[in-house]
Structure 1
Amino acid sequence: MTFPPLREELRGLEPYGAPQLSPELVPVQLNVNENPYGPSPECVADIAASVAAAATTLNRYPDREFVELRAELAAYLSRDTPHGIAPEQVWAANGSNEVMLQLLQAYAGPGRSALSFAPTYSMYPEYARDTGTRWVQGRREDDFSLDLARARDLVESEQPAVVLLPSPNNPTGTALPPEAVSMLCEAAGDGLVVVDEAYGEFRRAGVPSALELLPEHRNLVVTRTMSKAFALAGARLGYLAADPALCDGIRVVRLPYHLSAVTQAVALAALRHRDELLGKVDELRAERDALVDWLRGEGFEVADSDANFVLFGELADRHAVWQAMVDRGVIVRETGPEGWLRVSVGTPDEMKTFKVSLTAAVAEVTQDHATEEQA
């Protein structure tokens, strides 16, 4: 037997993760969709004081039901639906990644399948792999939208245990219309439809949240994260809203005391400063829309975005362009269809630097290829 005795299907695989390059070497980091604006000194002080208070009781296990945090998350989510969200409808974990993994542990697994539509978040098939769930992949249209009739037919024929629908989608930034969510909830029968709204706070005006549909579909789950709009990526706090019975099912598979007292304290402090932390969302939306206009003006194809990132293409040699930008101190993400790159929305200064870097990188790669052809 080969050592170490890793599961056969895991041998030779690389762990998930975007390149992590030193900010000293690459100062403009636009590759992992982080919020470029950190918390204020007042918020930092509240977090520090809250963690200090939690530290006095670290000899004890945390509240494994995180009752106070669920109540605050429910109050926050209630702003996005006229129906309101109750605390018993909320579940949280260490990032929305763990939320998704717990959902598949509880409701998918061996003998069941999970389904999504590519191009989409590259971790989804890994959640399926890690839980022994069969992975089914449909396709999006050329404009990255869903053909609703084809999507419904695939869900009805496969009857997956879980359908994963990011809205806005990553890496394309495209949002789903409410009718698509409702149609697929009905097509899924007893299967769950998970609408991943990790970037939901950045959606354009008039684009509703799937939270509004929860009373209509018991099999609907809406996930969120504090990593993006809340600028709390380092805290690792993701959560969902669903029928209380679905939350009860997750309790069966969750690890004991999975949310530390420190994590709960940080998240509660951030929620107390929600208006401040979310105050930059409008600025980032405006910066995103201006970036889309600029990229299109430069002749790139650009996906409509409701997120804090933009997917653009098509580049004859995207890796060469990516590397040329890194050499100039700017990192974006090689992801999505071949020939496309994804850029996170940063500060105005970061966006200026990105534009200069991209223009120079494309010119350099074009010249290099022309020289090679002449040789």
Structure 2
Amino acid sequence: MSEIRIDDLPVREELRGKSPYGAPQLDVPVRLNTNENPYPLPDALVERIAERVREAARHLNRYPDRDAVELRTRLAGYLNDTALPDAAGHRIGAANVWAANGSNEVLQQLLQTFGGPGRTAIGFEPSYSMHALIARGTGTGWISGPRHDDFTIDVEAAEKAVAEHRPDVVFVTTPNNPTGNAVPAEAVLALYDAAQAAKPSIVVVDEAYVEFSHGASLLPLLEGRPHLVISRTMSKAFGAAGLRLGYFAAHPAVVDAVQLVRLPYHLSAVTQATALAALEHTDTLLGYVEQLKKERDRLVAELRGLGYEVTDSDANFVQFGRFEDAHAAWRRILDHGVLVRDNGVPGRLRVTAGTPAENDAFLEAVRALAKDAAPAENDVKKNEEHNA
């Protein structure tokens, strides 16, 4: 068979020269580069998954529940219990929730519905790179919005960008990936109001890491805002990255609209059964989240104690630097058997909070890195003193 490359195929022009999303998966003792939950599922949950999947397997000759009603009902219950605890206030039901194969499919379906050729989406970068990639894959034009030097959203400039470009979809990631900082509710409300005045537009708040946040979910903002969508995932807090289950909460009309583009029977019976089992063990799984929050805060404190610049983090990862050559620093850490993420933010790297032992190994690696850099810094300081 003759050898051909992607560029030899009649692919769409906007895909030429591009690379697929992905983080390097290297065989090293400690992998802290993909924001996974490091704790395996507890035995009781594994057994419950086996029971539910065994029951689902008896009916695999039939298509799964196309609308995943039981799962959406349980997801709504989880959101009510954790993000809308006031029984007298706003509550949501299955009609407000949609689920798909990971939050990436959720985002893709939203862009297929509200974006597409001739339409645009805006995000405030650096942020989750899949927003731009999915936009490109759906033929949606992408606009990169502004941030301050401390990686917070420049709200005034962002409002002006929304007013100028009049995007069809606005993405706000909180806590933000890869920087880790949260976006205040006031900023989201300002952008929502700007988006409605300009178009109006769909505003998607990506809360993939919200369970790790110091603050509250923005889910209460849904009330009275039919163009607002809150996206979530079970990959992080639930320790179920291998499950591939994402979901969003929004006005029922948004859920109905997305079903116009969803593939038939898109969520398998096995996926639905596994997710339902996990939702039965939320207390245990959220207990692991509390452990990871403590470990994340320990990483922040230790890194700052070593002299690194650390972005405030509300996620299960920490962005740190600054490095003159971030990739060289990434390589030096890798030489100690620890894999972190170099995702292109100038001068910075990102580390996922792991188990205490994994975090100890990482801190040992960055201590060595800081020690190696110290002589060069001292030479610079001596030269400055001499020249003075």
- Provide TM-score, normalisation by structure 1: 0.94
Residue type of the partner of 1:265?
A
Number of residue-to-residue matches in the alignment:
366
Tell me, yes or no, if structure 1 residue 222 matches structure 2 residue 230: yes
Give the distance between the partners of 1:201 and 1:274, measured in 2 at CA: 11
The offset of 1:327, in angstroms, is 2.1
| 1:168 alignment partner, one of 164, 175, 180 | 175
2:209 maps to: 199
For structure 2, list consecutive stretches of 5 or more residues without a partner in the other structure: 379-388
Q: 1:368 to 1:293 in 2, by over 3 A?
A: closer
Cα distance in 2 for partners of 1:287, 1:211 equals 26
Q: Which residue of 2 aligns with 1:213?
A: 221
Q: Does 1:314 align with 2:322?
A: yes
1:361 positional shift: 3.5
Q: Distance in 2 between matches of 1:86 and 1:185?
A: 23
Correspondence for 2:186 among 179, 185, 189: 179
Question: Aligned ranges for residues 152-301 of structure 1 at < 5 Å?
Answer: 152-189=159-196, 190-204=200-214, 207-301=215-309
Query: For 2:251 and 2:148, how far apart are their aligned partners in 1?
Result: 31
1:17 to 13, 22, 25: 22
Q: Does 1:66 align with 2:68?
A: yes
Distance apart, 1:293 and its partner CA: 1.0
- Residues 1:116 and 2:150 are matched in the alignment: no
* CA displacement at 1:6 relative to structure 2: 1.9
Identical-residue share of aligned pairs (%): 55
Residue 350 (structure 2) pairs with residue 345 (structure 1): no
SS in 2 for 1:232: coil
Deviations 1:255-280 (A, max 9, x none): 11100001000000000111111111
1:86 paired with 2:96, answer no
Deviation at 1:147, TM superposition (A): 2.0
Q: Cα distance, 1:4 vs. partner?
A: 2.3
Give the structure 1 partner of residue 105 of structure 2. 98
Q: SS state of the match for residue 183, structure 2? A: coil
Q: Distance in 2 between matches of 1:320 and 1:36?
A: 26
Supply the RMSD in Å over aligned alpha carbons. 1.8
Offset from partner CA, 1:28-58 (integer Å, 9 cap, x none): 1100001111111110011111111111111
- Partner residue of 2:138 out of 114, 118, 131: 131
2:253 maps to a residue whose letter is A
Pair 1:162–1:117, CA change in 2 (3 A): same
Cα 1:366/1:110, change in 2 over 3 Å:
farther
2: CA distance between counterparts of 1:42 and 1:266?
A: 13
Check the 8 A contact 2:208/2:236 in 1, yes or no: yes
> Once superposed, which parts of structure 1, at least 4 consecutive aligned residues long, lie more than 6 Å away?
365-370
Counterpart-to-counterpart distance in 1, 2:62 and 2:188 = 42
C-alpha contact (below 8 Å) 1:120/1:336 kept by paired residues: no
Report SS of the residue matched to 1:116. Answer: strand
The CA deviation at 1:208 is 2.1
Report the counterpart of residue 373 of structure 1 in structure 2: none
Shift of 1:92: 0.5
Q: What TM-score do the two structures reach when normalised by structure 2? A: 0.91
Matched, 1:147 2:157: no
Structure 1 residue runs without a partner (length 5+):
371-375
